[in-house]
Amino acid sequence: MELPNLNCNNMLCIVHFYCRWKEIQQGVWRSVLSGQIWTLKQTDTKILYQVHDTKGNIPGAVIKSEPLSEAKPGRSKGNSVKQFKEEAGVGAATPVYEIKSEEGNSCTDILTDYFQLNVSLESLYKQWQAADGNFCQVAADFPGVRILRQDPTENLFAFICSSNNNISRITSMVEKLCIHYGKKVGCIDGEDWYTFPSVVALAQDSVEQHLRDLGFGYRAKFINQTAKIISKKENGWLDRLRHVSYQEAHSELLQLTGVGAKVYLLVVLISTKIFTTIIPFKTKKTTFWKAWYAHVK
């Protein structure tokens, strides 16, 4: 994969607080994605990834490790993966496996969907540069920045946590949700990793008070009530909204407690395939907007 198409360091640095990516060392990122622990690293020419063994068959083993641009059966893994294993603390003799996710997608398919690699970023950059002189000035400094296609359940509840909040507290709240209501995936380098909790787990009657005790404040009620509303809908309701019209998604999501216009737009922007000309606008960005786009009405 050519680097202008994806820049992990720029992207994950921006979104780590609600997507749970942690920079375990410079340029090496780790998180839980599709029920597995992933480690990503960007080199000068490739994006490398590992999916760690969480079943305990081989302690510290890696299920799959190969350059994203070379993710084809039978191709040589090359020295770059050997270097990655060394930097990530995985032995050179660690077995490498080819697996499928629960949905039947390969590891490459999961990352392609997550980073929306089927969207031509090069053509979009050209379009934006032609239309916006300000973008022309900064585009070269921010190559490969994409919108993640995050799991809608995780995205929704993470942004409910973000209401009137700062990055440090958002990160802490999302982490607490995972520790107390998610499932432990595994332990790597002495750190436990958890899935994001299911709607069913967050819909329990005891959740609101427990979250208040953990410091969630009024968001505890929003999280619990929203989970209860979703749990009463048909199975897969939230995932189905990934494929409906903007108007239908708007109508459905605004039924949820604690989901106002900003949270709704962020969920649509990050978790669905709905592309809209409406964008979330944070009050803190007013100064930037006035300085760069005062001429836009």
* Residues with catalytic roles: 262
Angle in degrees, CA 101, 240, 124, rounded to 5: 80
Inter-residue contact 44 to 9 (CB < 8 Å): no
Tokens of 174: 């999302």
Q: How far apart, in whole angstroms, are the C-alpha atoms of residue 243 and residue 51?
A: 28
| Residue entry with tokens 């697996």 | 99
Tokens of 108: 């490459």
Q: How far apart, in whole angstroms, are the C-alpha atoms of residue 23 and residue 40?
A: 9
Q: How far apart, in whole angstroms, are the C-alpha atoms of residue 253 and residue 248?
A: 9
Residues 6+ apart with CB under 8 A from 160: 219, 222, 223, 226, 258, 259, 263
DSSP 17: H
Rounded to 10 deg, the angle between the 261-271 and 246-253 helix axes is 130
Tokens of 50: 């590992």
DSSP 285: G
Phi-psi map region of 38: left, alpha, beta (phi>0 left; psi -120 to 50 alpha): beta
Q: How far apart, in whole angstroms, are the C-alpha atoms of residue 198 and residue 227?
A: 9
